[in-house]
Chain A
Amino acid sequence: EVQLLESGGGLVQPGGSLRLSCAASGFTFSSYAMSWVRQAPGKGLEWVSAISGSGGSTYYADSVKGRFTISRDNSKNTLYLQMNSLRAEDTAVYYCAKVVTDYGDYIHSSYFDYWGQGTLVTVSS
């Protein structure tokens, strides 16, 4: 059974940093791309970042590029999101999601087949 368990959320001041973790189990972690998706309170889903199975390719939404860094440790079956220079608008539930495949040379289609339960990040003074 695929399980994704996020941790690391909490209250942080504007301009501060936070690192989220996602512990994965039930599948061969290194064989799949992984992603972070967030949802601000009362709002829709917003894709944040994604990373290939090897960690060699990373992708970011324009809203977080240069501030957030996605990474993974395949020896620990864990996905990370380092969030710096946090803003009030980054307040959201952050979901870890498993991508249906790894990324090839060209991605025509991709989606998320499993999601974690999410961790809440609140940016406020």
Chain B
Amino acid sequence: SYVLTQPPSVSVAPGQTARITCGGNNIGSKSVHWYQQKPGQAPVLVVYDDSDRPSGIPERFSGSNSGNTATLTISRVEAGDEADYYCQVWDSSSDHYVFGTGTKVTVL
């Protein structure tokens, strides 16, 4: 089965840039989507199709995808960005949705 690997945690100071990676075999050939989940809340879509943003998501959130790594970048990090972030793909070989292991972003 297809596996997506994320770093367990990322720490960043306010105003700096956070980069969250999502590793998978030839993930660049797939479309990657990212979700933000704050404690006690449901996930929220923040980036879809590698780099597009839903309406209402700040431009500070951006994404890229190439080779074996997809990346979610949060620019000018704010305290309110502290959350868990998950990448996700559709694995057409198994007809399964696959989530990454999740990354906790801590704002120092």
A111 touches B45 (CB 8 A): yes
**Count of B interface residues, CB-CB < 8 Å:** 28
B95 is an interface residue with CB less than 8 A from chain A: yes
B108 is an interface residue with CB less than 8 A from chain A: no
Given A108-B31, A108-B90, A111-B33, A44 contacting B42 (CB threshold 8 A)? no
Residue from A35, A100, A110, A117 in contact with B42 in the complex, judged by beta carbons closer than 8 Å: A117
Given A106-B92, A109-B90, A115 contacting B99 (CB threshold 8 A)? no
**Count of A interface residues, CB-CB < 8 Å:** 24
Q: Which residues of B27-55 have CB atoms within 8 Å of chain A's CB atoms?
A: 30-31, 33, 35, 37, 41-45, 48-49, 54
Residue of A nearest to B43 (CB): A115
Given A50-B97, A109-B31, A45 contacting B43 (CB threshold 8 A)? yes
| Separation of A115 and B42 alpha carbons in the complex (Å) | 6
Q: Is the interface of A mostly helix, strand, loop or mixed?
A: loop
A111 touches B48 (CB 8 A): yes
Q: Which residues of A60-114 have CB atoms within 8 Å of chain B's CB atoms?
A: 61-62, 95, 100, 106-113
Inside 8 A of A118's CB, which chain B residues have their CB? 42
A27 is an interface residue with CB less than 8 A from chain B: no
B88 is an interface residue with CB less than 8 A from chain A: yes
Residue of B nearest to A113 (CB): B45
A55 is an interface residue with CB less than 8 A from chain B: no
B102 touches A59 (CB 8 A): no
Given A108-B31, A117-B42, A45 contacting B99 (CB threshold 8 A)? yes
Task: Given contacts A45-B99, A108-B92, A109-B89, list 6 more A-B pairs with CB under 8 A.
Answer: A46-B99, A47-B99, A61-B96, A107-B90, A112-B45, A115-B44
User: Can you spell out 8 A-B residue pairs with CB atoms less than 8 angstroms apart?
Assistant: A37-B97, A37-B99, A44-B84, A106-B92, A108-B31, A108-B90, A109-B31, A110-B90
A interface list, Cβ under 8 A from B: 35, 37, 44-47, 50, 59, 61-62, 95, 100, 106-113, 115-118
